[in-house]
Amino acid sequence: MTGIGPLEFLVFAFPGEELPDRIAAVLYAVERGGDVRVVDALAVAKDRDGRVRSAELVDVPAVAGLGVERGFAEPGVCLIDAADVDEVGQALDAGTVALAVLVEHAWARQADAVVREQGGALVGAVRIPEAYVAEARASRDVPGHRVH
């Protein structure tokens, strides 16, 4: 994929079976910022009986405008596939819904291009869990303890 920065797949889960209305505003803000670009997105829900279903954003009232604007239902745009939906569904609790988002780190596009021109490649990316951050912050406040 030339001309595109590193991609990351994120899944945000919410209680209930419908995405909250405010999520569209958050996605629009991400797009306006320009550092991160939404490449593809789906809503994935697991009902109380454990059945998993997915929907394109254009079919989800809370985010339909963004789905239409970004063309997420057009052929060739769908990078999140059935295997991804299955994986998200397995991770969800019954009675929850998730927004699965594939984002491009647009801010890193130029650096990625230079790395590739020089024969290099991005070989790792680590997402730091929120609990680890909270633990590090808490231990930082302990006298005599330094986090490295």
Give the pLDDT confidence of 47-103 residue by residue, as tens digits: 999 999 998 888 888 777 776 776 665 555 678 899 999 999 999 999 999 999 988
Q: Is residue 132 part of a domain?
A: no
Assigned domain for 63 exists: yes
Q: What is the pLDDT of residue 1?
A: 42
The dihedrals phi and psi of 34, each to the nearest 5 degrees, come to 85, -15
Q: Which two tokens stand for residue 95?
A: 């009675």
Question: What residues make up the domain containing 67?
Answer: 7-116
Query: Is residue 131 included in any domain, yes or no?
Result: no
The helix/strand/coil state of 48 is: coil
| pLDDT tens profile 91-122 | 999 999 999 998 888 888 888 889 989 999 88
Residue 147 lies in a domain: no
Domains contained in the chain, number: 1
Would 11 be classed as within a structural domain? yes
Does residue 128 lie within any of the structural domains? no
Residue 97 belongs to a domain: yes
> For residue 44, which amino acid is it?
V
Give the Å distances, CA to CA, from 8 to 104, 119, 123, 139: 6, 22, 13, 29
